Amino acid sequence: MTEIAAPTFDDLPTTLPLGSTFFEPAIEQVRKFAYAVEDETGWLVGDPADALVHPLFLSTYMWFPSGFYLRAPGEIGHFGLFRQHHGHLVGTPFLHGKSSARFLRPFRLGRPIRADVAVTDKYRRRGRDYIVMRASFFDADGAALAVYDHGCAIRSDEMQRPATPSAAPDAASPSELPPRRIEMSLEKSRLFSLPAENYHTHDRLAQAIGARVAIPAAMMSFAYLSRFAEDVFGADWISRGRLDATFTRMLQRDDVLSVEGRRVEGVADALTLSIHNVRREPVAVAAARLSSPIDHPAGGTLQRAPIAAPSRCR
């Protein structure tokens, strides 16, 4: 009997639906991630008694169950869905390069959330195989919550190591808006990523892949950028925010970061954002803006039928 060869990266369709997953977020889990990135709101929106959560929390499901102590049977993250059927295409370590978010509305705790997940693009660059994964989130009534696009290298010819420091820190910040200082630590990185034990949580595991010290998750940078934009735009960010971020350099657990921003000249409600380490090396760059009612409808094409009783994973 002739064996059928496993599909290669070249065989992978550019558009590949991966199915739907269902989650039931817990308040303890939401606060865990929020506190790890120094957000004292706990990512709750409005009156805490309403149990409404910022759609930024949904970004953490890309790498689920990393960072989650609570996990219901059958729950699986976006990347886990891909590995379930195409694990032979994934090498270690895989690198998170970009993330984009379109926030539509907060969601209420105690009700199931559905994520429709698909690969929407693939490409090869500098010896790495990349995919782009889209996750569209809906609440139990079918109302759209957020849309995320995550780009990551699933296989690398070699590990990209942090550049050797060379330039002295700038004396002054180029940020037009007041910058925010973040002191990273192994404790913050562990709070964000445990109970998974990997190069995010242990120096020795990071050193095994060529890094100097533990590497905090890139989604921590995404959270810092989102909070900076929300401080500028206010409550509109939760339902009209769009954030496109590129992670240009790996974080290190002893970094001291400066989150900075400028308004885009001649464009209303738009910012250019960046995060620099103490050596003035950019670790993330981003564009943030508020969508207008015209290109950001409350329902429209993103509406779905109400969610049926979940079977957790389809």
CB-side exposure of 244: number of CA atoms within 13 Å?
7
Walk across the sheet containing 44-45 and list its strands: 44-45, 52-53, 107-108
Fold of 16-302: Thiol Ester Dehydrase; Chain A (3.10.129)
pLDDT at 169 over 60: no
Cα-based angle 271, 273, 276 (whole degrees, multiple of 5): 165
Cβ contact 189:264 at 8 Å: no
SS3 227: helix
To the nearest whole percent, how much of the chain has pLDDT over 90?
A: 76
Q: What is the pLDDT of residue 192?
A: 97
Distance CA 291, CA 105 (A): 13
More confident residue, 135 or 176: 135
Percent of the chain with pLDDT over 70: 85
Spans of all domains in the chain: 16-302
Least confident interval from 39-43, 80-84, 172-176: 172-176
What average pLDDT does the structure give for the chain? 88
Locus of tokens 């995550």: 150
Would you say the pTM of this structure is higher than 0.85? yes
Q: Which residue has the higher pLDDT, 291 or 169?
A: 291
User: Span 188-216, mean pLDDT?
Assistant: 95
Q: Is the pLDDT of residue 164 over 80?
A: no
What is the per-residue pLDDT for 173?
52
pLDDT score recorded for residue 156: 78
Distance (Å, whole) CA 263 – CA 240: 17
Exposure string over 2-39, b if 16+ CB within 10 A, otherwise e: eeeeeeebeebeeebebebbbbebeeebbbbbbbbbeb
CB atoms within 10 A of CB 162: 18
Strand ranges, E, within the chain = 16-23, 44-45, 52-53, 95-103, 107-108, 113-125, 128-138, 144-156, 180-183, 241-246, 256-263, 270-276, 282-290
- Could you read off the pLDDT of 230-274 as tens digits, one per residue? 999 999 999 999 999 999 999 999 999 999 999 999 998 999 999
* Mean pLDDT on 159-187: 68
**pLDDT digits over 115-154, tens only?**
999 999 999 998 899 999 999 999 999 999 999 999 999 9
